[in-house]
Each structure stands twice: as C-alpha cells, then as structure tokens.
Chain A
Amino acid sequence: MNAHVPPPQVMQRSHGEASVAMQHRAGRTRLADLRQQGSAKAFLPRVDGAVPEVVFLNTSGGLTGGDRLRFALTLSAGCRAVATTQTAERAYRAGQGSALVEVAHSVGAGGWLDWLPQETILYQGAALDRRTVIDLAPGAGCLLLESVVLGRAAMGETVTGLAFRDTRIVRRDGRLALLDPLAFGDDALAAAGGTAILGGARAFATLAMVGPAVQDALGPARAALGEPGVEGSASAFDGKLVLRLLAADGWPLRRQVARVLAALRGQALPRVWQN
C-alpha cells in the first residue's frame, strides 16, 4: 500500500435483489421461496389473520446514481398477500446515471396482491428510474400504491433539479391494462406550479386497483376522500379504479392514503408502516 496514493473516489454503488414466492396450501398462503442478495432483503413478520405481509427492504439507506434494486413477489394461484417496504425510500443527489429500481410482481389465477410501498422522498438532484410491473393471471387482481414527496418540507427544501421516471404497468393475462408513466425532469419541475401539473403541491400519490368488480369500489373510494389539505380524485373504468392524491406535504398525504386504504381493504396501513 502506497501511503501517497489517495483512496479511490469511486462512490460505493449498491446492488440488491430480493424475490419471494408464495403458494396456497391447506387453505393458507405460505412462503415457498425466498432469495435475497446484496442490499435487498425481504421478510415476513408474524401477522394476525390469514393474509401474510411481505416486507421488502433496501439496506443501503437510500438510492443514488448507478444503484440497482429489484423486488419481486410471485403469488401462485389462489394466494392473497400484502407486500410493502419497511421504510420510506430516499433518492439522493445522483453522481452519475440514474438509480434503477425494478419491481416485478405476479399474481396467480384468482389471487390478490396489495402492493403498498411506503413513500419515496426525492432529494434535490435525485435521478431515479423505477418500473413497477404487476402481472395478473385470469381472475387475479391487485391494489397498488405509489406515494412521492419532493424534498423535505421540514428542511425548507425546494426541489428544482430531478430526473425521475416512475412507470406503473399492470397486465391482465399478458395484455396491457394499466400504463402510468409519470415523469418529473427539470422542465416539468419548472412547470410544476401550473394548475395542470402539480399546482405547486410537493406530495402526490396514485392508487390503482385492477381486477374483477373493482369498479364497485368507486363510491367508497370517493367517500373516503376529503382529508384536510389533500386534493383527491377517483375514476373507475375498464376494470380499473384509479385515484390521484395531491398535498403540500407527505403527512396529510399519508393520512389520506390511510383513509382510502381503510375504505378499499377494510383495514388501514400495513403494520410495518405504523412503526
């Protein structure tokens, strides 16, 4: 070791992949396989009731340029499960390139998945490209949530630079059913005050339910809107129920998300959210 050579300035990039498979046996959904490597972990906390919770975790403490993260959950026919993340995900200023996050879930025939990750907080200069794909077999359904907060309000942070792409894809029996390719780059951020963009809000969420009879939930979903400080809207069409929520900050948004989830699934947030 030569004492005159400075340490390498290469940032440590994190890579991680966690995949979980569940099977339905003897009337219950049970763990069939769990693989994890790098910074990605998954675990199943003990829960009351028959529907298991799968908790994914990125142990790297946040995302930055060049990071790769993949979460996957495969539910066999007839499985019902809830999947979430242990903490809010933070995307920090990226040095070079984007952080790539891939979420790839599949739900077997007649099964149901609630994919309810905690919010993503985007710091000034963050570059994150996230792709969430849920494949539904015939008769299967899902509820998916994505909440995003631009900067930390408590720190008085205003995010002006970002390379954020957040694509949600749901396929029914291999056929595209929902495509929601949200993106915020510098130009969209500059326009974010516009009433057609974010109207100056800093926190937004999309909830989507895809599956048999989900359009029946439009009334209860609309009735659960109206949390103070949150704008919300809902629409049901083409075997889907979609909600958009918008707030000045992450906390009122989270309260509104909890109310909508309570209305849609009979219980509020996954237990791990409440810690």
Chain B
Amino acid sequence: MSDAFPDAGLLSLVQWLSPAFPTGGYAYSHGLEWAVAQGEVADGAGVEHWLADVLRHGAGRADGILLAHALEPGADMAALTDLARALAPSAERLAETEQQGAAFALATGAVLGVALAPRPLPLAVGQAACTLGLPKAQVITLYLHAFAANLVSCATRFVPLGQNEGQRVLAALHPLIQTIAQEAAMAPLDSITTSAFRADMASMLHETLDVRIFKT
C-alpha cells in the first residue's frame, strides 16, 4: 500500500496515535496527577521539566526502545511482552500500558481486519505499525509525541494550564522527542534503564490519592 501512495503508512500511524483513536489515553496521567496534587508540578515550566525527565530518563526512552524492537521483522513478541510487563514499576503503570495496549490492539485490528493480540502499549503499536513500511525513528517519534501530548492534555485540564501554554510546552519538547527517538531506534534491549525514581514513586502514591480524576 505504501507503493501506491507513499504517505498512506504515515497517515495510518497518525490516525492510530491521534487522541480520537479509542486507546483511552486521556484516562491515564502516568503519575503526573499525584505530582500536580502535591504542588510539585504547578505551571507550564514544571510540566515541561517533569515530562522532559520522564521522556529522557524514564518510560519515554524505555518505551521507545521496546517499540523499536517490536518493529523488527520476526520480533519475539512473547519475550518482549514479558520484558515490558516486568519493567512496569507499579500496579498503575502496568495497568496503564496493558489497558491502553489492549484497546489499541483491538482498534487497529478492527481497522486492519486482522486479530491482534493484546500487548503492552509500545508493543501493540509495534505489532500494528510493522506493516506500514515507516522508518523506526519516525514511528517512535510519533509514539513519544502522542505520549507527551496526552500528558500535556492531562496537565491542561488538571494543573490547569491555558490551551496555548500547553501547546507551547509540547512544542518545546519536540527536539528532545526527536533525539530520544533517534537513539531508541538503534538501542539494544539491554540499554533500557531508568533514573525516573520519583516518577515511579508518583505512580505508586497515586494509588492512595483520595480524590482522583485519572486512572493513573
């Protein structure tokens, strides 16, 4: 299909990673709701800082590397699924990646007319996107952009931020997203590491937050 119309693959990916696609991302804050509730993230600059750290030193880079390997022809999806599940640092982060991944697999399967197994989100994206003929770094860039855009949208509703401030934050993260995607596209699985210790803690502490808008 990408021969007939070179942008067809890209259009499919943009559709799948758009907020309108029924992945349900709007319900998950990745622990950001806790950081905002504590007053630790209180404005646009705080959101940008928190997101940059999570992208660079936490789940962003890790998901990017998982996605790169899921895009590999003949990828061992069962082993990657075990790895992605074992990496989840908390109950809510496991639910976040598994529930969104299952919804994504169901929706892309319906679009493509094939049955796709439920998998943690980066792997669900990889197993659907591997047919699109797109460069890995491009797929990862759009994946990380969707991840960041969703959390900016959470922050816009909950910090709250003005719409324009939210979009400024997202635009400011673009160079970082591109850099991480380029690195992740070529990174071996054993280079997955995390330094986002308090982001993991935030997702645990979110479990016991009294009033919660988001599932995570």
B91 touches A194 (CB 8 A): no
- When chains A and B are docked, how far (Å) is the Cα of A75 from the Cα of B203? 34
Q: Which of B58, B88, B193, B197 contacts A246 (CB 8 A)?
A: B197
A181 touches B86 (CB 8 A): no
Shortest beta-carbon distance, A231 to chain B, in Å?
7
Shortest beta-carbon distance, A1 to chain B, in Å?
47
Shortest beta-carbon distance, B31 to chain A, in Å?
8
Q: Which of A165, A199, A244 contacts B200 (CB 8 A)?
A: A244
- When chains A and B are docked, how far (Å) is the Cα of A178 from the Cα of B203? 17
A246 touches B204 (CB 8 A): no
Identify which of residues 173-216 in chain B touch chain A, using a CB-to-CB cut-off of 8 Å: 192-205, 207-208
Question: Which B-chain residue is minimally distant from A222 (CB atoms)?
Answer: B208
Q: Which of A183, A235, A244 contacts B92 (CB 8 A)?
A: A235
Cβ of B41 under 8 Å from chain A: yes
Identify which of residues 173-216 in chain A touch chain B, using a CB-to-CB cut-off of 8 Å: 175-184, 187-188, 191-192, 194-199, 204
Cβ of A236 under 8 Å from chain B: yes
Tell me whether A176 and B50 are in contact in the complex, defined as CB-CB below 8 angstroms, given that A181-B192, A246-B201 are known contacts.
no
Interface of B is mostly: helix
User: How would residues 77 to 102 of chain B score, 1 for a CB under 8 Å from any chain A CB and 0 otherwise?
Assistant: 00000110111111110100000000
Interface size on B (CB < 8 Å)?
38
- When chains A and B are docked, how far (Å) is the Cα of A1 from the Cα of B197? 55
Identify which of residues 142-180 in chain A touch chain B, using a CB-to-CB cut-off of 8 Å: 165, 167, 175-180
Residues of B within 8 A of A165 (CB): 193
Q: Which of B92, B195, B208 contacts A197 (CB 8 A)?
A: B195
Shortest beta-carbon distance, A241 to chain B, in Å?
10
- When chains A and B are docked, how far (Å) is the Cα of A198 from the Cα of B53? 11
Residues of B within 8 A of A231 (CB): 198, 201
- When chains A and B are docked, how far (Å) is the Cα of A179 from the Cα of B192? 10
Residues of B within 8 A of A196 (CB): 35, 49-50, 53-54, 57-58, 196, 198-199, 202
Residues of B within 8 A of A184 (CB): 195
Cβ of B7 under 8 Å from chain A: no
B54 touches A179 (CB 8 A): no
Shortest beta-carbon distance, A163 to chain B, in Å?
11
Shortest beta-carbon distance, A152 to chain B, in Å?
20
Cβ of A234 under 8 Å from chain B: yes
User: How would residues 228 to 247 of chain A score, 1 for a CB under 8 Å from any chain B CB and 0 otherwise?
Assistant: 00010111111000101010
Residues of A within 8 A of B35 (CB): 195-196
User: How would residues 23 to 66 of chain A score, 1 for a CB under 8 Å from any chain B CB and 0 otherwise?
Assistant: 00000000000000000000000000000000000000000000
B200 touches A194 (CB 8 A): no
Shortest beta-carbon distance, B215 to chain A, in Å?
14
- When chains A and B are docked, how far (Å) is the Cα of A261 from the Cα of B197? 21
B198 touches A197 (CB 8 A): yes
Residues of A within 8 A of B197 (CB): 182, 197-198, 204, 244, 246
B196 touches A197 (CB 8 A): yes
A234 touches B86 (CB 8 A): no
Shortest beta-carbon distance, A9 to chain B, in Å?
33
Shortest beta-carbon distance, A200 to chain B, in Å?
10
A194 touches B89 (CB 8 A): no
Scoring B46, B86, B194 by chain A CB atoms within 10 A of each residue's CB, the highest score goes to B86
B90 touches A235 (CB 8 A): yes
Residues of B within 8 A of A222 (CB): 208
Residues of B within 8 A of A244 (CB): 89, 197, 200-201, 204
Residues of A within 8 A of B85 (CB): 238
Leading 6 A-B pairs by shortest Cβ distance: A183-B193, A233-B204, A237-B91, A188-B195, A235-B90, A196-B53
Q: Can you list 29 pairs linking A and B with CB atoms under 8 Å apart?
A: A167-B193, A179-B86, A179-B87, A180-B89, A181-B193, A182-B197, A184-B195, A187-B56, A191-B57, A192-B195, A194-B53, A194-B198, A195-B41, A196-B35, A196-B196, A196-B198, A197-B57, A197-B195, A198-B195, A198-B198, A199-B40, A199-B198, A231-B198, A234-B204, A235-B91, A237-B94, A238-B88, A238-B94, A242-B90
